[in-house]
Structure 1
């Protein structure tokens, strides 16, 4: 009886800890990214299969025409999912700042289920891959990533003080990266599980959809909003502003810093987004010619950067300022992506990625610094405004990087990576100015 009572106490304690953990933000982040990493591999391989099986009037597609078809699909799909969320994301951010803090997470998480179900229908029923355009539009109308990620960052900012915010937001990125790492490592293996009655990729997409549903249920039923005390927040806000300036209106003294931080974020996002936009297609062409497992491992290498960037922040923040950390991260990306220009073998790809080990530092710290310039009642709208600025930048870099890639396939397929390196270096300029001002 005593042993049974002890076991019962341990079970109750374990369930209590599990319930307490599920009330936090991290299960939502982990479940969502696990599902997304599985979906990303599935989408890439399905698009590869469909473009490989398509034919031109003159016969089967050549390698170049297949690359053009794939890059055109991703250009249209990415533009849809980046621009349909603009108005819904603004509306959700406004409602979030008025007290509905979980809404910018719950509504997009509902939308995350749609593309997974649509791709599952494409695989099982043989429907055209263009169905994903409509699924992407529905996903965007839910707010998409433009609402979800600022919502995550807003909740994380509310739960931290200004002094610890950079570390907190980097911890969010760490969880995101670790989940993506695990999901990417297994995604290629799950994609290849099929039989005569189960199409290739079906099991992978079913698991991804289940994870999306569990994530939504967690956000609806268990997630709780934590907020630091108003007195603590008021004492530690606006940490970039000299104490002598605290008597001025926040909007007047914070505006130059906010504008510079927005500019740096847009330039850096253009560099990263332009490179990543074609990287997935680049590794599928000769001489790399990756399969599903290698695609998963490549995605895992990208997710590993989240972990190394977090460790870099933990170590380096003791010795350098936050603006210096941002510049280190930008230089890390610039060097690695420039090296990617000349990659002709898989081992060279991973060598280039190893130079990007600190490349995820800039944007979380930029978000942290921006949040320190505004009252907490404006966190949601400000961070969403930043996310929408990045979306508008995508209107330029997605089609531009796609067309540059297509026109340089014959003489230097990696030329777009050199341009990305240039934009990353340009982003150092506004950050340097912020460093001088503060």
Structure 2
């Protein structure tokens, strides 16, 4: 019996991704510690090996380990950059004809290969460099951005009614926030109770169940139509050229004012995405280092509070939408996130670091609001290509952001670990300025529809 609910697939993917990220970082940290040090240190399940005395040899060692872990993370992210971008670009465009399940299946297979490889790597203590190779191979099938992009497109196929579609996506965001929050909260206990090998095995089992659900249970919406029979290489090249052509037309067919507004909103979204996603893995390294010296349980607490922003942001949008415009909600999320980055840079105690998360309660608001604003700038026939472009930009920008911030943190951790967060706060001025410019261009909320109507009128005249 076929089921047309994609929510279980997204939730299983969110569980696996949320559990995998902090555990992988901590595993790399401990492996590099053992390889760097000349003496053995016992890392208990929930015990942090961290010295706050700057004159201690352990303090010097942990600073060196921080640098090496950051650089290794940089290499791992770069290894998946090109295959991840290309696969997302091609698979999401092919999904318009071959079905949304194609990118879901290939992405899940890549995640299963990575998690299985992590189990073997941890069990046999193979060289860490093999993890970089596995990241490259698994990225050929896409990543979580590819998987989620296909899932949201699946929902759009099922919900032609815009109001129903918005409500279903909003509820889905809320569920994702709850799952990621609970998973992040339990990550430290997974590590303490099971160790790395069994924890990675749990992730692999979750991805395997997800893959089986997509292949054998998830149905195919009636709107999806198969691609005409032709060679595989021809299909990929055709889709690649078609996507490039439609992307170019998205800007070329727009009036100057609408094109400017579209570019400003895309710049706002991607520059904000760059900072928020880029600093995410740095938080774990910052918490492991002195003076915080968090263990796995506290890292889980911090990650859980960070994931709770999905819930608080959803509630914030629901409440704020009654009394303010979209662009004002985006400003609230942007400036509170900026304040959180500054406060993080000066956090020296566990209580202060946990309190920082309160300023990030609305950090997801700009993402949802900017997507909504972008959808109002383009016509209904351009919605698909718009979100395909956003997915590709997120894949490319995410890898570049994580790589860049890991490199910056590695270069500055020795003299001031909080520099990365101060820099991120300064970089948030870019989306703030571009959002102000977008407000000036749009002038008022109703101008989105007017811009589209103007372009449609011009297009009709051209056709005549």
Deviation string 1:124-148 (CA, Å, 9 cap, x unpaired) is: 1111222211121122100113322
Q: 1:30 to 1:430 in 2, by over 3 A?
A: same
Q: Which residue of 2 aligns with 1:215?
A: 210
Q: Which residue of 2 aligns with 1:138?
A: 137
Q: Which residue of 2 aligns with 1:41?
A: 22
1:172 aligns with 2:180: no
Q: 1:374 to 1:146 in 2, by over 3 A?
A: same
Q: Equivalent of 1:270, from 271, 274, 292? A: 274
Q: Once superposed, what is the RMSD of the aligned Cα atoms?
A: 2.8
Q: Please say which of residues 123-132 and 55-64 is displaced more in the overlay.
A: 55-64
Aligned residues of 1:97 and 1:378 also touching (Cα < 8 A)? no
Deviation string 1:16-68 (CA, Å, 9 cap, x unpaired) is: xxx88x53121111111112222123212211210110126999871110000
1:408, distance to aligned residue in structure 2 (A)? 2.5
What is the alpha-carbon distance in structure 1 between the residues aligned to residue 333 and residue 6 of structure 2?
Answer: 26
Aligned residues of 2:277 and 2:398 also touching (Cα < 8 A)? yes
Q: Which residue of 2 aligns with 1:97?
A: 96
Aligned residues of 1:170 and 1:361 also touching (Cα < 8 A)? no
Matched pairs, number = 395
What is the alpha-carbon distance in structure 1 between the residues aligned to residue 295 and residue 18 of structure 2?
Answer: 16
TM-score calculated relative to the size of structure 1: 0.82
Q: Please say which of residues 336-345 and 165-174 is displaced more in the overlay.
A: 165-174
Aligned residues of 2:77 and 2:399 also touching (Cα < 8 A)? no
Unaligned residue ranges in structure 2 (runs of 5+) = 40-56, 224-250, 448-464
Secondary structure at 1:287's aligned position in 2? coil
Alignment of 1:19-418 (within 5 A): 23-55=4-36, 62-98=61-97, 100-158=99-157, 159=159, 161-163=161-163, 167-194=167-194, 200-224=195-219, 251-253=253-255, 254-374=258-378, 378-394=382-398, 396-418=400-422
Secondary structure at 1:266's aligned position in 2? helix
Aligned residues of 1:326 and 1:365 also touching (Cα < 8 A)? yes
Aligned residues of 2:145 and 2:394 also touching (Cα < 8 A)? no
What is the alpha-carbon distance in structure 2 between the residues aligned to residue 323 and residue 250 of structure 1?
Answer: 25
1:165, distance to aligned residue in structure 2 (A)? 5.5
Aligned residues of 1:268 and 1:427 also touching (Cα < 8 A)? yes
Q: Please say which of residues 274-283 and 151-160 is displaced more in the overlay.
A: 151-160
What is the alpha-carbon distance in structure 1 between the residues aligned to residue 369 and residue 164 of structure 2?
Answer: 11
Secondary structure at 1:138's aligned position in 2? helix
1:82, distance to aligned residue in structure 2 (A)? 3.7
1:168, distance to aligned residue in structure 2 (A)? 4.3
Q: 1:421 to 1:185 in 2, by over 3 A?
A: same
What is the alpha-carbon distance in structure 2 between the residues aligned to residue 376 and residue 143 of structure 1?
Answer: 27
Secondary structure at 1:411's aligned position in 2? coil
Q: 1:363 to 1:414 in 2, by over 3 A?
A: same
Unaligned residue ranges in structure 1 (runs of 5+) = 1-18, 195-199, 229-248
Q: 1:34 to 1:274 in 2, by over 3 A?
A: closer
1:377, distance to aligned residue in structure 2 (A)? 5.9
Q: 1:399 to 1:206 in 2, by over 3 A?
A: closer
Deviation string 1:242-267 (CA, Å, 9 cap, x unpaired) is: xxxxxxx9941453332122111121
What is the alpha-carbon distance in structure 2 between the residues aligned to residue 367 and residue 97 of structure 1?
Answer: 20
Q: Which residue of 1 aligns with 2:237?
A: none
Secondary structure at 2:303's aligned position in 1? helix
1:184, distance to aligned residue in structure 2 (A)? 1.5
Q: 1:328 to 1:399 in 2, by over 3 A?
A: same
What is the alpha-carbon distance in structure 2 between the residues aligned to residue 380 and residue 141 of structure 1?
Answer: 23
Q: 1:335 to 1:161 in 2, by over 3 A?
A: farther
Aligned residues of 1:80 and 1:136 also touching (Cα < 8 A)? yes
Q: Please say which of residues 155-164 and 185-194 is displaced more in the overlay.
A: 155-164
Q: 1:367 to 1:152 in 2, by over 3 A?
A: farther
